[in-house]
Structure 1
Amino acid sequence: MPTASRRGRRSDTPPPRTGGSEAETLRGFLDYLRTSIAAKVEGAPEPQVRTAQVPSGTNLLGLLEHLTHVERSTFLGEAVTDWPSTFRAAPGDGVADVVTRYRETVERANRVLDGCADLGGPLPRPRPDRPAPSVRRALVHMIEETGRHAGHADILRELIDGTTGR
């Protein structure tokens, strides 16, 4: 197995310097994590990117596919009926497809957030059957979810080809 010192060593990107407001801080850290996990998946080789590297079956491409669904559910109000299935990319989807879909979803989510002036107010929801979380709660949840899976992605990418760093 290649070692990080021989292949794929990247320097770590430090956490962002954000503006002084709570909203700027939360969004800055979320965008930092979003960029980190997309970069971790980008350029990962097939078929290893979709091959389970751990007994749970978790794979690198599936993590980003899952986060795409979480972003859509949280910020866009889309219903997810089978969460376990969100951890698998479609067989025909390659790395570029999944990364592009994730980035497009993040752009849509950010447009929703751009229209939210009050962190304590509810996210706008196209689904009236379900109460909307506050903008603050949604941002904190996505920071936790993205950060947790970015950590998984760090380990999985290193197991695949030795690439480390953010």
Structure 2
Amino acid sequence: MPTASRRTRRRDTPPPRTGSSEAAVLRGFLDYLRDSIAAKVADAPEPQVRTAGVPSGTNLLGLLTHLTCVEGAIFLGEAVTDWPATFRADPADSAADVVARYRATVGRANTVLDGCADLGAPVPRPRPGRPAPSVRWALAHMIEETGRHAGHADILRELIDGAVGR
């Protein structure tokens, strides 16, 4: 357990003050959470960034690998055949690799969202014939999913080196 003197406190970033539209609020909170979890992983030390911090096996790289897959499935229509496997990062991947892959997937997802004017419309999918959730549902789900795992990352990172804050 890190001592108080080893704790690193990041400047706590408050929730976003986004535009007044529903889409701006939803996207603002999602981007806020995306940035928060990527920052927790980006500078985490090796090998702890990939070491299980709890009995379930959860680790920082696995959380971000999973969120990359969820973003790809929800917004880009990418197929996932083994969800439990999405919590495991490739052993050859560095933290920088996983963060870069996540940010690239988020960028592609945001490009899709930029073309969605109606929150009630289905998310566009590159795989025809597959049912798609509404943009509103997809955004709300990704806020929940990302927020949940950002909370896990907060705890794991504090256990690793005492770093706290967003």
Per-residue CA shift, 1:68-127, capped at 9, x if unaligned?
A: 000000000000000000000001000000000000000000000000000000111111
State the AA in 2 paired with 1:18: T
Counterparts of 1:93 and 1:136, CA distance in 2: 33
Change (3 A) 1:26 1:4: farther
CA contact (8 A) 2:6 2:161 kept: no
User: 1:4 Cα shift?
Assistant: 4.9
Counterparts of 2:136 and 2:149, CA distance in 1: 20
Identity across the alignment (%): 82
CA contact (8 A) 1:75 1:112 kept: yes
Is 1:149–2:158 an aligned residue pair?
Answer: no
Q: Which runs of 5+ in 2 are unaligned?
A: none
Size of the alignment, in residue pairs? 166
2:102 maps to what in 1?
Answer: 102
When the two structures are superposed, what TM-score results if normalisation uses the length of structure 1? 0.97
CA contact (8 A) 1:4 1:158 kept: no
CA contact (8 A) 1:76 1:125 kept: yes
CA-based RMSD of the aligned residues comes to: 0.9
2:48 maps to what in 1?
Answer: 48
Change (3 A) 1:126 1:114: same
Is 1:93–2:89 an aligned residue pair?
Answer: no
State the AA in 2 paired with 1:3: T
When the two structures are superposed, what TM-score results if normalisation uses the length of structure 2? 0.97
Give SS of 1:101's match: helix
Counterparts of 1:54 and 1:130, CA distance in 2: 36
Q: Comparing 2-11 with 55-64, which one deviates more in the overlay? A: 2-11
State the AA in 2 paired with 1:77: G
Task: Map 1:1-166 to 2 at 5 A.
Answer: 1-166=1-166
Change (3 A) 1:32 1:4: farther
CA contact (8 A) 1:37 1:150 kept: yes
State the AA in 1 paired with 2:70: V
User: 1:5 Cα shift?
Assistant: 5.0
